[in-house]
Structure 1
């Protein structure tokens, strides 16, 4: 058998190359696996580092906020400290003033004690004066009561000696009339009445001094206003507004007086309701009655 050395060498080289390529392939694959593992590890480490950095940043922010709060508190403390120092300074100044006032207060206290003592003496003296005054008032009241008793006795005797009697109207009649031309028609309708007739009788009384007696008739409407106002007269600061005035010669006998009183234009038409008719002898009311108009 003949072997070609050149072919053999070729095959040997080829086999060696295959082996070398296989070895490099295996080594390359292993190297690739190692690199991949390192990449995974590095990624994990990177994530851990990022997380740690994030935590550090967060802590740094918290520390920064706390630092700002501490700075603010420090500034507040400094301001409070300054205010306290000012207050202490003022207090120190006030202490000297208070010491001065305290000395003055002691002087005022002594004056107050002295004044209190004087006031007590004055009060005792005033009490004595009040007792004397009460005694004087009691004596004065007793004397006044005696004078009043004597005066009342004198007045009673004087009144008994100068007793006066007043006229009385023991009968008063009042009617309403409507005047038509020269005739009068009796009516109770307020809107028709324009003439009111008043008749009264002066009672007989022997105790009354005879002579001229001034008589006033006053008519008051439901609103207490005077109807047919004829004037005003004053007696002892009292005023009388009257509707009719006349003078009667009284001779201690029954005396009848009648008059027709015409309502004024301002009074017409008369209002519905109760009218009061008063008869006076000067300032004395001697009789009264009422007239109801529908």
Structure 2
């Protein structure tokens, strides 16, 4: 049995010095990308520590964040971050942050978010920065 997600969305945020987050659609004002989703209840999945691999692709198809690689038998997955959580057989809301690449800037265009449970794609979404 595989966990699934609902309500996957990504958006740019401005991070104020107070720590307050302000959503933005402007690429040049974006400090980080915030990815939020709900892990949905599945009675067939045992409770415990779980992890999803989150992949965020920029408009040029570059993997943002860590851009680390993990091997699953024949398949290699490049991921932006590992989202670790404790699953207790109920819906769980999760938000994660992705930083820009080396220059600290986000490009204008379409971004794609993919969530994987090991090498199984469980959710995908996209958003645009202007």
TM-score (norm 1): 0.41
Task: State the shift of 1:179 in Å.
Answer: 2.6
Task: State the shift of 1:230 in Å.
Answer: 4.1
Higher strand share: 2
Q: 1:33-91 CA deviation, whole Å, 9 max, x = no partner? A: xxxxxxxxxxxxxxxxxxxxxxxxxxxxxxxxxxxxxxxxxxxxxxxxxxxxxxxxxxx
Q: After superposition, where does 1:63-102 map in structure 2 within 5 Å?
A: none
Q: How far apart in 2 are the matches of 1:242 and 1:210?
A: 24
Higher helix share: 1
Task: State the shift of 1:245 in Å.
Answer: 0.9
Q: 1:108-160 CA deviation, whole Å, 9 max, x = no partner? A: xxxxxxxxxxxxxxxxxxxxxxxxxxxxxxxxxxxxxxxxxxxxxxxxxxxxx
> Which residue is 2:60 aligned to?
223
- The two structures, once aligned, show a CA RMSD in angstroms of 1.6
* 1:199 and 2:36 correspond: yes
* 1:263 and 2:100 correspond: yes
Q: After superposition, where does 1:183-198 map in structure 2 within 5 Å?
A: 183=19, 184-198=21-35
Which contiguous aligned blocks of 4+ residues in structure 1 show a shift greater than 4 angstroms?
none
- Equivalenced residue count is 129
Q: How far apart in 2 are the matches of 1:287 and 1:224?
A: 18
Q: After superposition, where does 1:1-294 map in structure 2 within 5 Å?
A: 165-183=1-19, 184-266=21-103, 268-294=104-130
> Contact conserved, 2:47 with 2:87, CA < 8 A, in 1?
yes
> Contact conserved, 2:57 with 2:64, CA < 8 A, in 1?
yes
Q: How far apart in 2 are the matches of 1:249 and 1:290?
A: 26
Task: State the shift of 1:170 in Å.
Answer: 1.5
Q: 1:234-253 CA deviation, whole Å, 9 max, x = no partner? A: 11121111111132221221
Answer with 1 or 2: which has the greater Rg.
1
Task: State the shift of 1:198 in Å.
Answer: 0.9
Unpaired segments ≥5 residues, structure 1: 1-164
Higher mean C-alpha displacement, 230-239 vs 219-228:
230-239
